[in-house]
């Protein structure tokens, strides 16, 4: 294969950008930094912005990731970005959902709250998508109601 046939088209790159938004699982900070760096390199070329201050941790991590790509060509960055997104999508679709382990049991059939017991410890969690900031109105209403009961019910005299 020649270098010309390995290049990813702009359309493939844009498709990868849409696919990464549809991932159900958070790929983790390291992968997100790599995606960010490859995207910036593919769209803007080598890092040309000044290094942020050391106390701006997020911007510094992003700058370091982008700067680490050096003089990688925009075409190669677009290729690597598309390959990384493709591998994330493939891994996610190949990973079957695992049910609760034998020593872990689920209670009830709640839509917004997940209650599990494992090793005699009951854990109550919000049952929400794994993406950040994905709290819907049902969960928000349940949270507020639960907090109200938790904080005010013990002081109510019957």
Residue 153 DSSP symbol: G
As a whole number of angstroms, the distance between CA 152 and CA 144 comes to 12
120 and 88, same structural domain? Answer: no
As a whole number of angstroms, the distance between CA 98 and CA 20 comes to 23
Domain count, the chain: 2
124 and 88, same structural domain? Answer: no
13 and 90, same structural domain? Answer: yes
Bridge partner residues of 107 (DSSP) = 115
Single out the residue of 110, 107, 111, 113 nearest to residue 143, CA to CA.
113
Model confidence, pTM: 0.58
CATH number for the domain spanning 14: value is 1.20.80.10
Q: Helix, strand, or coil here: 134?
A: coil
- Domain around 52: 6-94
Bridge partner residues of 8 (DSSP) = none
Structure tokens at 141: 């209403």
Is residue 1 domain-resident? Answer: no
pLDDT in tens, the chain (158 residues): 444 445 778 999 999 999 999 888 888 899 999 999 999 999 999 999 999 998 899 999 999 999 999 999 999 999 999 999 999 999 888 876 544 444 455 555 555 666 777 877 877 776 555 555 555 555 555 555 555 554 555 555 54
Residues 6+ apart with CB under 8 A from 104: 116, 117, 118
Residue 75: what pLDDT? Answer: 94
């Amino acid at each position: 294969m020649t270098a010309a046939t390995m290049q990813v088209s702009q359309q493939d790159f844009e498709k990868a950008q849409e696919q990464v938004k549809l991932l159900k699982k958070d790929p983790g900070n390291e992968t997100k930094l790599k995606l960010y760096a490859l995207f910036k390199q593919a769209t803007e070329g080598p890092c040309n912005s000044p290094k942020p201050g050391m106390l701006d941790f997020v911007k510094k991590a992003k700058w370091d990731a982008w700067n680490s790509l050096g003089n990688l060509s925009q075409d190669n960055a677009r290729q690597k970005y598309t390959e990384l997104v493709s591998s994330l999508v493939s891994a996610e679709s190949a990973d079957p959902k695992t049910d609760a382990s034998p020593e872990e049991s689920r209670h009830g059939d709640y839509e917004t709250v997940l209650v599990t017991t494992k090793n005699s410890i009951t854990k109550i969690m919000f049952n929400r998508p794994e993406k950040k900031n994905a709290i819907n109105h049902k969960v928000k209403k349940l949270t507020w109601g639960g907090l109200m009961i938790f904080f005010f019910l013990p002081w109510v005299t019957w």
